[in-house]
Amino acid sequence: MPAKVDLAAGKLPIDATFGVASDTDARLAPAVKRFLARVARQTGIFPAPSGTAATLHIACAPCTARPVLGEDESYQLDVTPSGANLKAATVSGALHGMETFLQLIQPGPEGFQVPAVHIADQPRFAWRGLMLDCARHFPPVEVIERNLDAMAAVKLNVFHWHLSDDQGFRAESKLYPKLQQFGSDGNFYTQDQMREVVAYAAARGIRVVPEFDIPGHTLSWLVGYPELAAGTGPFEIGRHFGVFDPVLDPTREETYTFLDGFIGEMAALFPDPFFHVGGDEVNGKAWKQSEQVQSFAKAHNLNDTLALQTYFNQRILKILQKYGKNMVGWDEIFGPDLPRDAVIQSWRGADSLATAAGKGYRGILSAGYYLDHARPAAYHYAVDPLAGPAAQLTPEQAAHILGGEACMWSELVDAETVDSRVWPRTAAIAERFWSARELTDVDSMYARMEAVSRQLEWTGVTHRSSYGEMLGRLAGARPVEPLRVLADASEARGLGTGRRAKDTETPLNRFVDAARPESEMVRHLELAARKADPADLTTLRGVFEVWAANDVRFQALAEDNALLEEVRPLSKDLSTLGVMGLQILDYLGSGKPAPADWLTAQSKELTRIARPSAEVLLAGTRPVKILLDALAKR
Amino acid sequence: MPAKVDLAAGKLPIDATFGVASDTDARLAPAVKRFLARVARQTGIFPAPSGTAATLHIACAPCTARPVLGEDESYQLDVTPSGANLKAATVSGALHGMETFLQLIQPGPEGFQVPAVHIADQPRFAWRGLMLDCARHFPPVEVIERNLDAMAAVKLNVFHWHLSDDQGFRAESKLYPKLQQFGSDGNFYTQDQMREVVAYAAARGIRVVPEFDIPGHTLSWLVGYPELAAGTGPFEIGRHFGVFDPVLDPTREETYTFLDGFIGEMAALFPDPFFHVGGDEVNGKAWKQSEQVQSFAKAHNLNDTLALQTYFNQRILKILQKYGKNMVGWDEIFGPDLPRDAVIQSWRGADSLATAAGKGYRGILSAGYYLDHARPAAYHYAVDPLAGPAAQLTPEQAAHILGGEACMWSELVDAETVDSRVWPRTAAIAERFWSARELTDVDSMYARMEAVSRQLEWTGVTHRSSYGEMLGRLAGARPVEPLRVLADASEARGLGTGRRAKDTETPLNRFVDAARPESEMVRHLELAARKADPADLTTLRGVFEVWAANDVRFQALAEDNALLEEVRPLSKDLSTLGVMGLQILDYLGSGKPAPADWLTAQSKELTRIARPSAEVLLAGTRPVKILLDALAKR
């Protein structure tokens, strides 16, 4: 939602004569080309080769070669029935304006069109990011790139690239090739690919902040370089998840020599001045067990794990400064003597963010934006970087809060499923970072999110198309329809909300992987159940009839199919739910009250059905509950 | 359908330990890699990095660098519960066997599995092709490549690449750069890309036969090189379709000097010994109007257009021979003195194919395989290269019939829609070319085609996924569901079967472009209406109810939407059809006969609704007609 929108009368038609005239700029020119290709994809109309008029004029001064934190991202878009003007101070602003223009293209009475409108827009926060964990499961470059396109579409401007963790080292080092040779199972990004991703992102107004998580979460480093460890190897790539004991040894000079070389090498690949060093979840066990570490600690008065990590951070900080980088780290880096140019990423809660800001540290919020928890978009939308403890800050202190990042940890997503876990929910988080804090109406957010979700398909992300393919795989040679009916009414649970993550080798090909974290269809049914107009009740009846009849068909489909075995009870419950829904509608239609014991029995049954099964929630219980509550109130 | 299949007891499980051991061969090794990636995509199971056992052994002698016409394409596949063996004489045979193995992977009681089976298989015809017209609309290389993957999946082995026509010259010539500079609107394949496509195809067992259509269909050549024309320019790229008058001048030596240079250049890019020179649809007008041509014709006793074209062909033939190429051409090249190594591609009917074969010419059949006509798969499946007049040939003569090609002319398809016009119907044609002539049961063909259609998704073609995207575009910001209900019951008409092709600049973004040439859903309803078991009648009732209720929702969706305006009457008809279907079911259920005048009225209404509207057929009339006929017979 833009900061300021004034609709005017009339429409600008988008047809084969559509064209763009723009100021010349090394980043703007290819962006205009991509923009025209998007117009073509969205409308199916390709500019006539005979030449096109300049319908949209884009003005923006020549800019830096890449986006910069805090640059002026504002834009003004004026559309009239005869043409459109887009003005911005920077290429980033112009890119945002072009995305807004694309969102405005809709079919209308004379074909595709953009409404006449004046928009003056700018973001609330300067740091609007998405973190992708590419260590626990490895997404090839094409997955990264299509997600960068989708990020640009919702005006996110930071790609936080989590490149190493216990389960994999994903960046090619030429200085220390055993990092990827022994730590990646062959799944890593070459230096050329990393340069390509950085350029691809910059072209779309997105900064790339690489993360190499140290001194913990480093098992994959230690396979090739066991000498870096506090304690002795051999080490193996982590296959399971959680916090592992082995960590880097902060007391040996060789560790810092290694890291100096490595960070120097990576700093040259990633031009952004921010460099993420992780720093989370060091349990200290390996340090306590190491004589070398303990004697060093005693000699230097480093009394506990925190003191040791602070010492480590101080050393790393000097290395980063040498290469002109600002340190970014998770909550845990916030210790005494942390220099003021460091940036804290809060994942354990908003308190640490506010505390740090109060002390003059810059911070970004990620607590509340964990996509792997598979929570509804409304949950994330309600989280604001300036709410809660941050609301008590002075304006000057609050200004240290740069924004936030959605986090996609990859215990339970792979290249096939990651898009459907990131999108469309991240669009709601992106709006939280961009738009007014006062914008909190959930229904209107969902209306926008659904429209954006459909538009995101044109950027190449597969959050919608992979659904049918994955269901088709589960159905095998049999007709998929009963499975789709069940999946449409289901929601996948996430890490910490009912889903277990076993190890990196467990296939992510189950029903729960195909099902979405949030069902658009069920949300529509909830709206219908709340409104309960005659047309709504007809819609609900139709759906309940399908549910009621579905189990017979589903059980035939699931016969002799090990992959569907676990959701057979879920299917049975869906049909129960359908029958219950029909009975409630009958009572509502008859105008007669339902017997109290019948109501109690249904309520009990609903509670049972609402419990997760096969790591999935039968979201279809929600509209039925709304109707049952309405009936009970009569 | 393989030539010989013997099912045995038991299943071979496909899990994370699955692995392949194969003979070393430059083409086989990357094919095995791709095969494993396909196994992973199909199952969602990725081989554990810890190492895999060799479940499938592939044996095949080292082979030629590329597929060759007439090579031994047979394979033997033996699957037991403990492992599988694939044996073939050539890489092409091994590739076919791998595709069969992929088709056999299905979910089962213990997870993904392949049934124990012995298969001995080989093709009936050596030339099994797909022609893509890349001139009238231009598909980028990625579209070509994904279709090559799909072709390999159904064991097609010839990609006939129609690279030039009146509407565009799509190949880069370095010798004559004005061909692409002036004849392509910038849409052409570079020489590197053409080499890449040839290598990509060869890796998949597919020969590439380029076509440069001469002397007609050459408007795009003449824009840059008007001196090649019979008659004077200037010329412009053809935007409309049909037969244009301007053609090459067959009487000037400069024409042959040019073509010698050009064919030599292209011959070096396309290693296959077959080279297609088109030769179709020369109307002779330009030759009749040209003094130069007429005086030459008189001097050389070339009395008519056919004689002139025969002279032209003789000259071209010599050029082709110089570069070691066999001539392939459309029907029209079959004139007197055509040498015996030429191959005739019959598009005007099977007669010419039989006549040519009778005279010792090799031929391939395309009449009856025109995908742009949007006919049902069953129509194409009934066409056989050895049926009709060819059935009268001696076995020796019949052996000259090498096979056939499905033809995708692109007046009405672009990069977005081409996949949905080629697939899945081409799979049925591919089976016609591969499998026994006696295999003619249409229902079992459709059952296999549907399974293959779903599996083809994994090769990357978008025949299923583009459907939702294109409907979403038409719906704009509104819920797409009523549009999908209508589209599921509709079938797009094709060229010559109810669809008009205007020009290359007309957007292909209408309802008819999103709708499929053949509705899988309607076919299921037809089966249900024919069987008419109680479960079938319940299914039909459910669908008819949805249709009956759909128009109200559709009209709301179509409000103020110019793109949906044309299908408003269609939607109204669908609801009428739904109501009619429900009434018929009521009569059938009641056991009472329907009044004769009511039956007559319904029949009349059905005939009206069955007429094309907005270039689309309401295929949903078919199951209703089956039910109505059954009712009338009582």
The answer to whether the Cβ–Cβ distance between B108 and A562 falls below 8 Å is: yes
Contact present, A121 and A58 (Cβ < 8 Å): no
What does the pLDDT look like over B418-438, one tens digit per residue?
A: 999 999 999 999 999 999 999
Largest CA distance in chain B: 83
Phi, psi of B41 (to 5 degrees): -65, -45
Continuous segment of H or E residues that includes residue B20: strand B20-22
Distance from CA of B132 to the nearest CA of A (A): 21
Residue whose tokens read 């279907």 = B581
A473 vs B42, B474, B513: nearest CB: B42
B419: which residues sit within 8 A by CB, 6+ positions away?
B143, B146, B147, B150, B461, B462, B463, B466
Distance from CA of A85 to the nearest CA of B (A): 23
**Which residues of chain A lie closer than 8 angstroms to B524, CB-CB?**
479
Q: Which of A113, A452, A454, A536 is the best substitution to test chain B (most B C-beta atoms within 10 A)?
A: A454
Nearest to A188 by CA among A167, A209, A214, A159: A167
DSSP bridge pairs for B210: B161
Q: What is the DSSP string of A531-567?
A: H--HHHHHHHHHHHHHHHHHHHHHHHHHTT-HHHHTT
Interface of A with B in 70-89 (CB under 8 A): none
**Which residues of chain A lie closer than 8 angstroms to B458, CB-CB?**
469
Residue whose tokens read 């790229």 = B237
pLDDT of residue B180: 98
Distance from CA of A231 to the nearest CA of B (A): 25
**Which residues of chain B lie closer than 8 angstroms to A480, CB-CB?**
454
- Is B563 touching A (CB cutoff 8 A)? yes
How far apart are the C-alpha atoms of A222 and B98, rounded to whole Å?
39
Pairing of strands B158-165, B168-169: antiparallel
Pairing of strands A490-492, A616-618: antiparallel
- Please identify which of the residues B196, B281, B457, B481 carries the catalytic annotation: B281
B468 vs A50, A464, A475: nearest CB: A464
pLDDT, mean of residues A11-36: 92
**Mean of per-residue pLDDT scores for chain B:** 95
Judged against a pLDDT cut of 90, whether residue A52 lies above it is answered with no
- Is A451 touching B (CB cutoff 8 A)? yes
**Which residues of chain A lie closer than 8 angstroms to B513, CB-CB?**
44
How far apart are the C-alpha atoms of A352 and A361, rounded to whole Å?
11
Interface of B with A in 296-335 (CB under 8 A): none
B567-571's contacts with Cβ under 8 Å and 24+ in sequence apart are: B567/B486, B567/B511, B567/B613, B567/B614, B567/B616, B569/B613, B569/B614, B570/B486, B570/B490, B570/B511, B570/B613, B570/B614, B570/B616, B570/B618, B571/B482, B571/B486
pLDDT of residue B265: 98
How far apart are the C-alpha atoms of B431 and B329, rounded to whole Å?
24
Phi, psi of B318 (to 5 degrees): -65, -40
The answer to whether the Cβ–Cβ distance between A546 and B542 falls below 8 Å is: yes
**Which residues of chain A lie closer than 8 angstroms to B557, CB-CB?**
none
**Which residues of chain A lie closer than 8 angstroms to B505, CB-CB?**
16, 46, 48-50
A477 vs B106, B237, B474: nearest CB: B106
How far apart are the C-alpha atoms of A201 and A141, rounded to whole Å?
12
**Which residues of chain B lie closer than 8 angstroms to A507, CB-CB?**
16, 43-46
**Closest chain B residue to the Cα of A236, Cα to Cα:** B50
Q: Which of B416, B471, B473 is the best substitution to test chain A (most A C-beta atoms within 10 A)?
A: B473
- Please identify which of the residues A71, A265, A281, A566 carries the catalytic annotation: A281
How far apart are the C-alpha atoms of A273 and A271, rounded to whole Å?
6
Interface of B with A in 128-187 (CB under 8 A): 185-186
**Which residues of chain A lie closer than 8 angstroms to B477, CB-CB?**
106, 451, 454
The CB density around residue B490, as the number of other CB atoms within 10 Å, is 27
B566: which residues sit within 8 A by CB, 6+ positions away?
B510, B511, B614
What does the pLDDT look like over A447-459, one tens digit per residue?
A: 999 999 999 999 9
The total number of residues shown for chain B amounts to 634
Radius of gyration of chain A (CA): 27
What is the dihedral sign for C-alpha B253, B258, B261, B265?
negative
Counting one residue from chain A and one from chain B, the pairs whose CB atoms sit within 8 A come to: 122
Contact present, A409 and A370 (Cβ < 8 Å): yes
Residue A335's pLDDT band (cuts 50, 70, 90): confident
Active site residue A71: no
The answer to whether the Cβ–Cβ distance between A16 and B505 falls below 8 Å is: yes
Judged against a pLDDT cut of 70, whether residue B561 lies above it is answered with yes
What does the pLDDT look like over B188-213, one tens digit per residue?
A: 999 999 999 999 999 999 999 999 99
- Is B479 touching A (CB cutoff 8 A)? yes
What does the pLDDT look like over A354-390, one tens digit per residue?
A: 999 999 999 999 999 999 999 999 999 999 999 999 9
A579: which residues sit within 8 A by CB, 6+ positions away?
A544, A548
Token duo for residue A49? 């080769």
**Which residues of chain B lie closer than 8 angstroms to A107, CB-CB?**
473-476, 561-564
A560 vs B109, B458, B524: nearest CB: B109
Residue A16 vs residue A267, higher pLDDT: A267
- Is B457 touching A (CB cutoff 8 A)? yes
Amino acid symbol at B506:
T
How far apart are the C-alpha atoms of A197 and A194, rounded to whole Å?
5
Residue A50's pLDDT band (cuts 50, 70, 90): low
The answer to whether the Cβ–Cβ distance between B561 and A451 falls below 8 Å is: no
- Is A579 touching B (CB cutoff 8 A)? no
pLDDT, mean of residues B323-333: 95
Query: Strand, helix or coil at B474?
Result: helix
Phi-psi sector, B182: left (phi>0), alpha (psi -120 to 50), beta? alpha
List Cα–Cα distances, A325 to A209, A328, A338, A343, B515, in angstroms.
11, 9, 14, 11, 54
Judged against a pLDDT cut of 80, whether residue B544 lies above it is answered with yes
Residue whose tokens read 């009970």 = A632
**Which residues of chain B lie closer than 8 angstroms to A43, CB-CB?**
473, 507, 509
3-state secondary structure A138-157: CCCHHHHHHHHHHHHHCCCC
Pairing of strands A111-121, A127-133: unpaired
**Which residues of chain B lie closer than 8 angstroms to A16, CB-CB?**
505, 507
How far apart are the C-alpha atoms of B458 and B149, rounded to whole Å?
9
Judged against a pLDDT cut of 90, whether residue A170 lies above it is answered with yes
Judged against a pLDDT cut of 80, whether residue A13 lies above it is answered with yes
Q: Which of B464, B509, B538, B551 is the best substitution to test chain A (most A C-beta atoms within 10 A)?
A: B509
pLDDT of residue B422: 98
- Is A542 touching B (CB cutoff 8 A)? yes
Residue A47 vs residue B6, higher pLDDT: B6
Residue B338's pLDDT band (cuts 50, 70, 90): confident
- Is A564 touching B (CB cutoff 8 A)? yes
Contact present, A180 and A171 (Cβ < 8 Å): yes
What does the pLDDT look like over B106-142, one tens digit per residue?
A: 999 999 999 999 999 999 999 999 999 999 999 999 9
A505 vs B16, B185, B472: nearest CB: B16
ipTM of the complex: 0.91
The answer to whether the Cβ–Cβ distance between A469 and B458 falls below 8 Å is: yes
What does the pLDDT look like over B458-512, one tens digit per residue?
A: 999 999 999 999 999 999 988 899 999 999 999 999 998 889 999 999 999 999 9
pLDDT of residue A25: 84
- Is B536 touching A (CB cutoff 8 A)? no
| A62: preceding bond cis by omega (within 30 degrees) | no
Judged against a pLDDT cut of 90, whether residue B41 lies above it is answered with yes
- Is B545 touching A (CB cutoff 8 A)? yes
Query: Strand, helix or coil at B187?
Result: coil
Query: Strand, helix or coil at B617?
Result: strand
Residue A231's pLDDT band (cuts 50, 70, 90): confident
Residue B50's pLDDT band (cuts 50, 70, 90): low
The answer to whether the Cβ–Cβ distance between A107 and B465 falls below 8 Å is: no
Helix, strand, coil abundance in chain B, percent, nearest 5: 45, 15, 35
**Closest chain A residue to the Cα of B138, Cα to Cα:** A46
B167: which residues sit within 8 A by CB, 6+ positions away?
B135, B136, B219, B220, B237, B238, B239, B241, B504
Token duo for residue A280? 């989370």
